[in-house]
Chains A and B, each alone.
Chain A
């Protein structure tokens, strides 16, 4: 499989990365080189093979239902590019 220019733009938008028109051909060829490389996986017989969901067999530990965190608003917003009254500020989102 290989990607065309429209797909490069679609994927860039899906990943929320601005890509200029002149960047597209280079990206397209790079992505296609990678896709061509991974293409060899299609020759592996994976019939009946379970996809890996955890690399080592372990039981998932769970936390107790106790409030142990939060109330650190100054840490939460300390690195914010824009904030007001402890809210994060972003360009207005229209519903």
Chain B
């Protein structure tokens, strides 16, 4: 399929015989955030005892029938709206027929020819300065399968149906991605949007977001090559690795004069390779047909409009607003909106304060510290109000920048009201010229050789500022120190 993207030389891969372009498309399976399953009243909770979150419907007992969960429909529509996609007012559930022990009905209820959501697009931030638009082909609702455990018994596999029937959204992209980096960025952005919407928690460790990655390679400008599908990649890092590894494998085959077999492969992160799923080699014939147990899924425009009206502000819009309203840089804006919680935290800090300063503090001090400690906003020991108070003390020149960082440390480890801490511990900035002069005089007296040097080389003043600040315990006002030093050293 032709796509609108022009070849970006940056993305070309050098092979032994020339340049290659990587083409990636993705099918993301996102678990819908809901209490109950797509067609039954059993719980979707993670980690229940074996076969506990299973109803007679999920176990496909004879005569059982599906009844659709309205929340899953609502979430799919909201997701479609978040992807700027066409919402189909009538869609059809089909059966995808195949035998597998964790597929109790012998078919998966899915949507084949008439999905609930049609074409849309996602603006993907490849880097803070590079954005690409990736086409979304469709989104449809389908059932998850159960789980087979293969390593618990010498000769048997164990089957647990707790996941069987949980609602998934399959989101299919156009083959618009051109590198591992873009593939990672696409999943990152899609995950962010889903989390903003609250339609999927994006928890890849629990398997609540999984990717099937379609990879092919071609010479720039040529038609698409044969693709391989890498199934069930479950982390963003592995998605990137899988794309690179698979592209290299295909390039090596093609440069060797070989051809690519269209097949399903698995990525093995331990070995850093993809391998063919041999048992699935047999050509699939899913025999899709409309599920006669279900009626067409229909709703009206008014319903869609109600959902549209109630959508939260999404990351792209939020970023634009942060730039306009708070004067943050596009880079900082992109970082701040990466998670809805981060964006909300920033807004609380920035409210009534200088936006750029707030962004600096939130990104550099706060996020830096969270990362270092492996914490997130929910488990942070410091609140937006506390960071705001520190910024206020700094702004009113009650404390210096250096002291502000010390203060952040104290609040982080001990908690408390920043203003009260400054007061109690005497951390207030010294602006009294007399006191500062005393310190300067002592420093100058102790370093006569440096004083002589400084007269010839005015940049030496920086060294003196440092010494004075150090002697004052960081509390001296740096501007005052600078001025007084200049006068005493006789530098203009």
Contact = CB atoms under 8 A, between A and B. Distances in A.
Interface of A: 14, 16, 53-54, 58-73, 75-77, 82, 84-95
A59 to B, nearest CB: 7
26 contacts: A14-B287, A54-B295, A59-B295, A62-B70, A63-B68, A64-B71, A65-B34, A65-B36, A65-B69, A65-B70, A66-B41, A67-B43, A70-B52, A71-B52, A71-B53, A73-B51, A87-B50, A87-B152, A87-B158, A87-B160, A88-B160, A89-B157, A89-B159, A90-B101, A92-B155, A95-B266
B35 A66 contact: yes
Contacts of B56: 69, 72, 75-76
Given A62-B73, A69-B42, A76-B161, A87 B150 contact: no
Contact of A14 (B53, B68, B70, B285): B285
Contact of B295 (A58, A86, A88): A58
Contacts of B92: 53
Contacts of B155: 91-92
Contacts of B52: 70-71, 73, 86
Contacts of A65: 34-36, 69-72
A72 B297 CA distance: 30
A65 to B, nearest CB: 3
B194 interface: no
Contact of A95 (B150, B153, B161): B150
B43 to A, nearest CB: 5
B153 A60 contact: no
Nearest to B99: A16
B67 to A, nearest CB: 5
Nearest to B92: A53
Contacts of A62: 67-70, 73
A14 to B, nearest CB: 6
A6 to B, nearest CB: 14
Interface in B124-167: 148-150, 152-153, 155-161
Given A94-B279, A95-B150, A68 B41 contact: yes
Contacts of B59: 76
Contacts of A72: 54-56
A83 to B, nearest CB: 9
B68 A60 contact: yes
Question: Which of A53, A85, A94 has the most chain B CB atoms closer than 10 A to its own CB?
Answer: A53
B298 interface: yes
B60 to A, nearest CB: 11
Interface string B159-191: 111000000000000000000000000000000
A86 B51 contact: yes
Question: Which of A59, A67, A95 has the most chain B CB atoms closer than 10 A to its own CB?
Answer: A67
Interface in B374-395: none
B10 to A, nearest CB: 37
A71 B42 CA distance: 8
Contacts of A95: 150, 266, 277, 279
B35 A69 contact: no
Interface of B: 34-36, 40-43, 49-59, 67-73, 92, 99-101, 148-150, 152-153, 155-161, 266, 277, 279, 285, 287, 290, 294-298
Nearest to B151: A92
Given A59-B295, A82-B156, A91-B157, A70 B35 contact: no
Contact of A66 (B36, B50, B150, B157): B36
Nearest to B291: A53
A58 B52 CA distance: 34
Contacts of B298: 59-60
B296 A67 contact: no
Question: Which of A14, A68, A76, A91 has the most chain B CB atoms closer than 10 A to its own CB?
Answer: A76
Nearest to A13: B282
Contacts of B295: 53-54, 58-60
A50 B471 CA distance: 88
A69 B57 CA distance: 10
B36 A88 contact: no
A90 to B, nearest CB: 4
Nearest to B266: A95
- Closest CB pairs A-B (n = 6): A65-B71, A68-B41, A70-B42, A69-B41, A62-B70, A69-B55
A90 B71 CA distance: 34
B99 A89 contact: no
A65 B155 CA distance: 39
Nearest to A73: B51
A15 B241 CA distance: 38
Contacts of A93: 100-101, 148, 150, 157, 279
A82 B159 CA distance: 11
B35 A67 contact: yes
A69 B40 contact: yes
Contact of A86 (B34, B50, B55, B287): B50
Given A60-B296, A65-B34, A77 B67 contact: no
A68 B156 contact: no
Nearest to A59: B298
A72 B166 CA distance: 17
Nearest to A85: B50
A53 B290 contact: yes
A88 B150 contact: no
A70 B53 contact: yes
B296 A54 contact: yes
A70 B277 CA distance: 34
